[in-house]
Structure 1
Amino acid sequence: MKNGIAFLVLLAFNFCFSQSKFNKADTEKFQKTINSEYADAKKSPLMEEDLKTFKTLEFYPIDAKYFVNAKFVKAKNEKVFEMKTTGTRTPKYIKYGTLYFKLNGVALHLNVYRNIELSKTEEYKDHLFLPFSDLTSGKESYIGGRYIDLKIPKGNTIAVDFNQAYNPYCAYNHKYSCPLVPLENDLNVEIKAGVKTFH
């Protein structure tokens, strides 16, 4: 899987598909699950030397203010494009929509994307990919930004829990090829939630 889609293993970690209220237990379960995966030599993206001493990833304190119910506006007439990655792989995506929300009183928006190949599978036909970077990137969080997995909403709102933001696999191992965060998803605020930088 070293040259595969870096975030696939983490798809199962998202628990905010349909809820509209923050649930701390969901994030605690997310943290426990991701730690368990990373400690497992068969699944872990960690390099061998890091796996030997791994105990837990470092997380920001769980904070309900980083759970938002965003307004979802579906994109129209978008064209499929090749998303740049840290390697030579250029997976095909399409912009599926835009999320509008507020954090600490600041109005923000992020685009969500759909992986063309992934959407052809039954298991991930409703999957949406939310990559983002923010003012913590390169400081407290991974320089390349972080990801959140979502599902296509049935209505015009979608719950986003930044407490469940995770790093791409290339934050841990250079052998992986990971999608780069599009420039339009660089937030001019600090998102002090989710997984912090490694080491």
Structure 2
Amino acid sequence: MKNKINIFKIASIVIINLVIISCNSKDKRPLLGDTPYQQRLNSSFKDATSSPLKKRDLKEFEGLEFFPVDSNFIVTAKLTRIENAPIFKMPTTTDRAPLYKEFGILDFIINNKSLQLTVYQSQEDLEDEQYKDYLFIPFTDETSGNESYGGGRYMDVMLSDITSEETIELNFNNTYNPYCAYNEKFSCPITPRKNHLDIEIKAGIQDFKKH
């Protein structure tokens, strides 16, 4: 009899725990996004302390729009470094003029088409322990102004990801918009004309529809 009572108690505890877990999982909304990168970006935009969104857009925010993830837009690029490149003031959407230099030229192929982008190095980031390893790639393409933001999109790569053969992986699925796409109060680097790709890059972040 005691065994039956103990089994009943154990079963009751298990059932109660399952109910609690079920309730908690319903209350906790899953992270939006098809990849860890998209989930991190959505999480940042959802957080009022880090989001560039205006209050009314943040209130209605349900997740950023992305093109479907496409492995054709993950490519290996050959890096040609630019030696002794001069430091220059990068034009922005405001009077701010951050200092950059051209780090190198990236040559790669997408859909049998040879393409090229210039990669830049922020001189301010070199003084920041958290970002000194970052390289910056702004670009426009044939979707700019239509399916993607007209001012272009950005991609970051890392110095540590450059191989001994001077190649680096470019994943256009992991692109992001300038904060100016969401809120005009921000100052954003303007994409240089030479970084236009005459091909549709249907990967990564899409244009944002403001409320």
> Which residues of 2 match residues 136-147 of structure 1 at below 5 A?
136-147=143-154
2:139 is aligned with 1:168: no
User: Which SS does the other structure have where 1:110 is aligned?
Assistant: strand
CA distance in 1, matches of 2:158, 2:45: 24
Match of 1:193 in 2: 203
2:37 is aligned with 1:30: yes
2:62 is aligned with 1:70: no
TM-align CA RMSD: 1.2
- Indicate the structure with greater helix content: 2
1:45 is aligned, of 39, 42, 52, to 52
Work out the percentage of aligned pairs sharing the same amino acid.
47
> Which residues of 2 match residues 12-31 of structure 1 at below 5 A?
28-31=35-38
Bigger radius of gyration among the two = 2
Q: Deviations over 1:145-188 (max 9, x none)?
A: 00001112242000010000110000000000000001110111
Match of 2:189 in 1: 179
TM-score of the aligned structures, taking structure 2 as reference length: 0.80
> Which residues of 2 match residues 38-187 of structure 1 at below 5 A?
38-152=45-159, 153-155=162-164, 156-187=166-197
User: Which SS does the other structure have where 1:89 is aligned?
Assistant: coil
Q: Deviations over 1:104-158 (max 9, x none)?
A: 0000010000000111222222210000000100000000000001112242000
Q: Which runs of 4+ in 1 moved over 2 A?
A: none
Structure 1 residues without counterparts, runs of 5 or longer: 1-26
Structure 2 residues without counterparts, runs of 5 or longer: 1-33
User: Which SS does the other structure have where 1:119 is aligned?
Assistant: helix
Task: Specify which structure has the bigger relative contact order, considering alpha-carbon pairs within 8 angstroms and separated by 6 or more residues.
Answer: 1
